[in-house]
Amino acid sequence: MNLGIQNQWFIVGGASSGFGKATAEKLIEEGANVLAIARNSQPLLAFQSKYPENFIILAADLSKPDTLKMLNDSFDLSKFSGAFINAGGPPAMRVMDSKLSDWDDAYHLLLRWKVALTQMLIPYFIQNNYGKLVFVESVSVKQPVENLVLSNSLRMAMVGFVKTLSQEMAGKNIFMNIMAPGYHDTPAVQRIFRKKAELSGISIEEAKQNLLSHIPTGVMGNAGDFASLAIWLLSPLSNYVNGQTIAIDGGASRGSL
């Protein structure tokens, strides 16, 4: 299928592994160009050597204001058609184990920089009369995940932000959606297994099998499959999908919405 994104430029966050890496790879396979951002430069350099013509890197932490300034100062943001807004999550913990400093850190990690980056990109999208944003949050916005109070709480704020902005941008040919992954075979999910094992006094493998038993498909998701949906949402083919939160969780969330 031709997604219509050949030669377009996209920003991809968290591009050194997991969802970000898989999405960057699939964008390039479709003939698009990628500005890949991640804290760890080594995987990015290896990636760049494989795709030298259509892959540039920025080794930095997107949650830091200095990174956003560097992005704005060093690149012509008017050439970008969209962004895959993705980064890591906060530590796993229960409500009464959390401190106010944990909430402050989680606000910066999960919310503040995404708002700042979005506000940076939107004027260029308006100028170009086109733009696509895909935010990676968590299935916790559909159904709270055990021991993830910070993620459960602050990712919901991103849902409200994206829904509001999608309505404000309606009619301007600017589209945005949220992908809400459940358990996928990525490095990030291991922290959930470790925390569950620690709190339950069981092995990490037992914790994994316990969680998998609650997924109707019986398996964890694949980052490549996730990325296939992400690049479709970044393409013109998804222009009638806007302001939605889409669960990719093997049917684990039980709600109807």
174, 227: one domain: yes
Residue closest to 22 by CA, chosen among 222, 236, 181, 250:
222
CATH number for the domain spanning 154: value is 3.40.50.720
Other C-beta atoms closer than 10 Å to the C-beta of 161 total 17
66 and 78 fall within a common domain:
yes
- Are 38 and 147 found together in one domain? yes
Q: Which pLDDT tens digit goes with each residue over 197-208?
A: 787 888 888 877
pLDDT digits (tens, 9 = 90+) for 94-110: 999 999 999 999 999 99
Residues 196 and 136 in one domain: no
Pairing of strands 80-85, 9-13: parallel
Mean pLDDT, rounded, of the chain:
92
For residues 84 and 154, state if they share a domain.
Answer: yes
Percentage helix, strand, coil for the chain under 3-state DSSP, each rounded to 5: 50, 15, 35
Joined together, the tokens standing for residue 114 give 């995404």
Tell me the pTM: 0.91
Judgement on whether residues 89 and 134 belong to the same structural domain of the protein: yes
Considering the domain architecture, whether residues 81 and 136 belong to the same structural domain is answered as: yes
pLDDT tens for residues 102-158?
999 999 999 999 999 999 999 999 999 999 999 999 999 998 988 889 999 999 999
78 is a domain residue: yes
CA pair distance 98, 92, nearest whole angstrom:
10
Of the chain, the end-to-end C-alpha distance in Å amounts to 29
Total of domains in the chain:
2
pLDDT in tens, 6-53: 999 999 999 998 999 999 999 999 999 999 999 988 888 988 888 888
Instruction: Return the structure tokens found at 59.
Output: 């080794």
Q: Are residues 213 and 148 in the same domain?
A: no
> Is position 3 within any domain?
no
Q: CA 133, CA 106: separation in Å to the nearest integer?
A: 22
- Owning domain of residue 15: 9-182+222-247
C-alpha angle with apex 184: 237 to 17, nearest 5 degrees?
Answer: 80
188, two tokens:
């990030």
146 plus 230 within the same structural domain: yes
Q: Which of 235, 181, 255 is nearest to 5 (CA)?
A: 235
Same structural domain for residues 102 and 88?
yes
User: Can you tell me the distance from the alpha carbon of 83 to that of 3, in angstroms, rounded to the nearest whole number?
Assistant: 16
**pLDDT computed for residue 195 by the predictor:** 72
Asked if the structure places residue 36 within a domain, the reply is yes
233-247 per-position pLDDT tens digit:
999 999 999 999 999
In a domain, 256, yes or no: no
